C-alpha cells in the first residue's frame, strides 16, 4: 500500500467519502465495494486498483497507516488499532491483513529487518488470535522492551 498522499486525490477522496458514509449506514458486514462503485460512479476495478479488498478499504477508513517512521510509535499505534479489534470473527482476517501489512512494512524499514517486524507484529497478533485476549498498551511496551534489550541479537 503506498504511503503519503495518494496521486489521484480527487477520485480517492470521493471513494473514501462514499465508503465512510456507507460504513456508518450499514456497518462492516453489509458494506460492499459494489455499492461504493454505484454511489461514486467510479469503476470497481479502479477502486480495487487502489484498495485491493473490502478489508483494505475499510482499514484505510478506520486506521490509515501512521506517518511516523519511529518504530516505537508504530508499534504503539498498531497495538492501539488492534485493541479496537478484540474478539475478531472470521471476516476480520481480511481487516487484520489490511491493517497490519502496511505497518509491518513500515516497521521492517524502521528496524532494517523483516524478521524483527514479524516478531513484533506477530507477538501482538498471537495475543489477539491465539490467546484471544485484547492487545493492550502494556503488551506493546513489553514487546518493545524485549526487542530493545535484544536488538543486537534479533536482526
Which residues of the chain form contacts with its own copies (CB under 8 A)? Answer: 88-94, 96-97, 100-101, 104, 115, 117-119, 121-127, 129-132, 142-143, 146-147, 149-150, 153-155
- Smallest separation (angstroms) from its own copies to the CB of 115: 6
Q: Considering all CA atoms of the chain, what is the largest pairwise distance in Å, rounded to the nearest integer?
A: 53
- Smallest separation (angstroms) from its own copies to the CB of 11: 27
Backbone angles phi, psi at 88, to 5 degrees: -65, 135
Residue 79, all three cell numbers: 497495538
In terms of CB distance, is 80 or 118 closer to its own copies? 118
In terms of CB distance, is 16 or 100 closer to its own copies? 100
- Smallest separation (angstroms) from its own copies to the CB of 136: 13
- Smallest separation (angstroms) from its own copies to the CB of 5: 24
Q: How far is CA 130 from CA 16, 78, 86, 135, in A?
A: 32, 17, 12, 12
In terms of CB distance, is 23 or 119 closer to its own copies? 119
In terms of CB distance, is 44 or 151 closer to its own copies? 151
Any residues with CB less than 8 A from the CB of 105 and at least 6 apart, and which? Answer: 1, 117
* Rounded distance between C-alpha atoms, residue 14 and residue 105, angstroms: 27
Amino acid at each position: 500500500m503506498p504511503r503519503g498522499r495518494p496521486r489521484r486525490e480527487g477520485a480517492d477522496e470521493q471513494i473514501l467519502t462514499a465508503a465512510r458514509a456507507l460504513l456508518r449506514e450499514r456497518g462492516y458486514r453489509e458494506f460492499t465495494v459494489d455499492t461504493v462503485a454505484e454511489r461514486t460512479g467510479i469503476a470497481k476495478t479502479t477502486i480495487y486498483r487502489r484498495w485491493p479488498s473490502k478489508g483494505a478499504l475499510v482499514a484505510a477508513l478506520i486506521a490509515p497507516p501512521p506517518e511516523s517512521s519511529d518504530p516505537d510509535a508504530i508499534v504503539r499505534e498498531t497495538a492501539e488499532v488492534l485493541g479496537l479489534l478484540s474478539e475478531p470473527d472470521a471476516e476480520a482476517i481480511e481487516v487484520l491483513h489490511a491493517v497490519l501489512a502496511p505497518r509491518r512494512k513500515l516497521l521492517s524499514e524502521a528496524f532494517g529487518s523483516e524478521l524483527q517486524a514479524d516478531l513484533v507484529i506477530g507477538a501482538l497478533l498471537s495475543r489477539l488470535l491465539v490467546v484471544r485476549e485484547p492487545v493492550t498498551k502494556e503488551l506493546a511496551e513489553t514487546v518493545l522492551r524485549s526487542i530493545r534489550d535484544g536488538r543486537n541479537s534479533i536482526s
